[in-house]
Amino acid sequence: MTLKEIQKRLETLKAKGFVPSRRRGPTGIGHTLEQELQLNETNIAIPDIGGRVELKANRRDASSLITLFTFNRGVWQIPQKEVIEKFGYVDKDGRKALYNTIYAGKQNTQGFNLYIDKEDNQVKLTHKESGEVVAVWSIYTIVGKFISKLERAIFVFAQSRKDEEGKEKFYFDEAYLLEHPSPDKFMEAFEKSIIAIDIHMYIKDSGAVRNHGTGIRIFEKDIPHLYGKRRELA
């Protein structure tokens, strides 16, 4: 499928106005967009722009973070179990756990902060009270993960409303092709507290740690700002 064909389908969808969601819940918007565009996957081949492209749908009023990618390998400066035991709490299931979202320059309720060390090209997770560096991410590594995972993307924005029966409908009224992911803009988003690091782990009954993946997260509406080139499609 060419970019021109995708653009034509997006314009046709926009002209429809509000369309019923094809699925209930948070994933309804992406599924509905795929069905309306007659696509079977969110990663589509567009040969005239040089390869596969991620297709993303976003509710204009969305208020939840999404995960760009996860990265845990080799980042922990303290064993993960020790991190949970020292800084965690007992969750609703009675387990010692640590679920935290941390932004640069904003100390959170658990005393964590993110520090951007430009001299060493690192993002450091620190704890105010103990003064410890808990985890370290290489800037080169996380920027590389971002570029390789989301090198190109089509972002489609939609207005969302519910009808008299409470069923959701979408008006897909704006779409962009995003290219040239910018390392500088990515790090600027970290510094401006637009990108967060999300910790989600707990100690199992066996004593082992269950880590759901330390996520690099952002509001979906902010993703276009991470790119050097944005082309309007609809």
> 3-232, what's its fold?
Alpha-Beta Plaits (3.30.70)
> Which position has the token pair 């009224």?
173
**Tens-place pLDDT, residues 33-54:** 999 999 877 778 887 777 788 8
Per-domain boundaries in the chain: 3-232
Q: Answer yes or no: are the C-beta atoms of 116 and 105 closer than 8 Å.
A: no
Please give the Cα distance from 100 to 45 (Å, whole number).
36
Share of the chain above pLDDT 70, in %: 99
Q: Answer yes or no: are the C-beta atoms of 30 and 40 closer than 8 Å.
A: no
Asked if residue 11 has pLDDT above 80, the reply is yes
Q: Which pTM value belongs to this model?
A: 0.75
Burial zone of 170 (CB within 10 Å; 0-12 exposed, 13-18 middle, 19+ buried): buried
61: tokens are: 């009023």
Please give the Cα distance from 18 to 46 (Å, whole number).
27
pLDDT of res. 223: 87
Share of the chain above pLDDT 90, in %: 59
Backbone angles phi, psi at 152, to 5 degrees: -140, 145
Q: Which residues contact 66 (CB under 8 A, 6 or more apart)?
A: 217, 218, 219, 220
